[in-house]
Amino acid sequence: MSKRDYYEVLGVGRTVAEAELKSAYRKIAMQCHPDRNPGDKAAEEKFKEAAEAYGVLADPDKRAAYDRFGHAGVRGAGGGAGFDPSVFNEFDFADVLGNMFGFGDLFGGGRRRGGPQRGADLRYDLEISFEESAKGVETAVQIPRQEICATCKGSGAADGSSPTGCPQCRGQGQVRFQQGFFTVARTCPQCRGAGKVITKPCQTCHGEGRVTRERKITVKIPAGVATGQQLRLQGEGEAGNAGGPPGHLYVVLHVQEHEFFRREGLNLFCEIPVNFTTLVLGGEVLVPTLDGSEAVKVPEGTQTGTTLRVRGKGLPEVSGRGRGDLFATVQVQTPRKLNKDQRHLFEQLARVLPKEKFEPRAPSSEQDERNLFDRVKDMFG
C-alpha cells in the first residue's frame, strides 16, 4: 500500500515553518492519541501516520531528502519506516495532559520562549521564460526579510547595556503557584517566557533584535525545470531569535509557455510545414530546436500528420543525466499563389495522377466501415 504525502498527512504546505509544523502534528496527536480513543483502530493508525510524517519533516536532513526524492529518499535512513514512538515523546507529559484534558500549564508544562528559535521560511514566486527553463539561468531576486540587527548584534539592548534577569520569574521564564494539590507553572507575563528583560532597548530595532532588510539573492536555476518545481536556498529565510538558525527561502518556479514548442515531461512537440513535393519525393527539412535548426530526413511518400522524431533535442533532466526528444508533426504546405509555369506543371501532374470516383455513403456493416476507411485512405494516399 502506497504512503500518503507527509505534508498532506499533517495538512501543511511544503514551505511550512518549524513552529507551524509542530503545531499541526500536536493537533492531530491530541485528537487521535490511543489513550483518548481506546479501541479506535482508525484513530490509532492516523496517530501513527502523523508521528511518522513529523519524524521525517521535523529533521532538516530527512526533510531535505524527502523534498527531493519523496519516500524513497528517507527509506532506510530512519524515516518512512513506520511509527516511531519516540517522536510523540518530544511533547512532554504536561503538554499532552494540558492540551488533551484542559489543564493548561499544570505540572510545570509552561514553555520558556527565551531559547534559540529557528527563523521563518520564506516563499518567492519567480517567472522565467521557456528558454531559461530549458538552458538554466542565474538571476537575482529582491527579498524583504528579518535580519539580525547589526547595532545590537541581536540582543535587543542598547550599546553599552545588556538584557538583565527578569525580576518576576528570576530568569526562569515561568512563574509557579500552588493550586490545590497541583503546582501550576505559567509563562511569565513580564518577560513573556524569555527569562530576561531589556531596560535600555536598541534604538535601531527597538528591542526586537531583528530588523527588516531588502536583500538581493542570487538564484541558480538548473536546466530542465518545470512550472511548480521549487528551489530551496538554505539559510536564506528570516533570521532566528536568540541565536537560532535562519529559515530557508523557497523559490517556486513558473515557466512561460512557448509560442512554438509544447512540453510533455522532457519531450518537446511542434508542427512544421513541409512542401508537397518533399513529402512526395522525400528529402530533408530543417526542424527548429532549442539549439538551432536540425536537418531531418523526410522519407519518400510521407503523409501529412506524420511525426518525425529528433532524438536528444528535448529538455534535459534537472539532474543532468539525460535528455528528452523532439517530435515534429509534418503538415503539407499548400502554395497559395502559382505563377504560370507552376500552374502548368501542376496541371500536367493532375492529368497523370490516377483518378478514382468516390461516392460517400453510410456504412451498413462493420465490414463496410472498414472498406470505407480503406477507400478514403487509398484515394488520398
Q: Which residues contact 62 (CB under 8 A, 6 or more apart)?
A: 55, 56, 74, 77, 78, 79
211-220 pLDDT, tens digit per residue, is 999 999 999 9
Per-residue pLDDT band for 253 (boundaries 50, 70, 90) equals very high
With a pLDDT cut of 90, the percent of the chain lying above it is 40
What is the reported pLDDT for 1?
53
120-135 pLDDT, tens digit per residue, is 999 999 999 999 999 9
What is the reported pLDDT for 321?
85
Q: Which domains does the chain have, with CATH numbers?
A: 1-91 (1.10.287.110), 262-380 (2.60.260.20)
DSSP 123-137: EEEEEE-HHHHHH-E
Reference 74, options 89, 52, 91, 90; nearest CA is 52
What is the reported pLDDT for 98?
45
**Average pLDDT along the chain:** 81
- pLDDT higher at 364 or 86: 364
**The pairing of beta strand 326-333 with beta strand 307-310:** antiparallel
88-106 pLDDT, tens digit per residue, is 444 443 444 444 444 444 4
Q: In the predicted model, is pLDDT for residue 73 greater than 90?
A: no
Per-residue pLDDT band for 163 (boundaries 50, 70, 90) equals confident
- pLDDT higher at 80 or 26: 26
Per-residue pLDDT band for 294 (boundaries 50, 70, 90) equals very high
DSSP E strand boundaries for the chain:
122-128, 137-148, 164-165, 174-179, 182-187, 196-197, 210-221, 230-233, 249-255, 262-264, 267-275, 283-289, 292-298, 307-310, 326-333
What is the reported pLDDT for 62?
87
What is the reported pLDDT for 187?
85
Q: In the predicted model, is pLDDT for residue 22 greater than 70?
A: yes
With a pLDDT cut of 70, the percent of the chain lying above it is 80
Per-residue pLDDT band for 267 (boundaries 50, 70, 90) equals very high
Per-residue pLDDT band for 380 (boundaries 50, 70, 90) equals very low
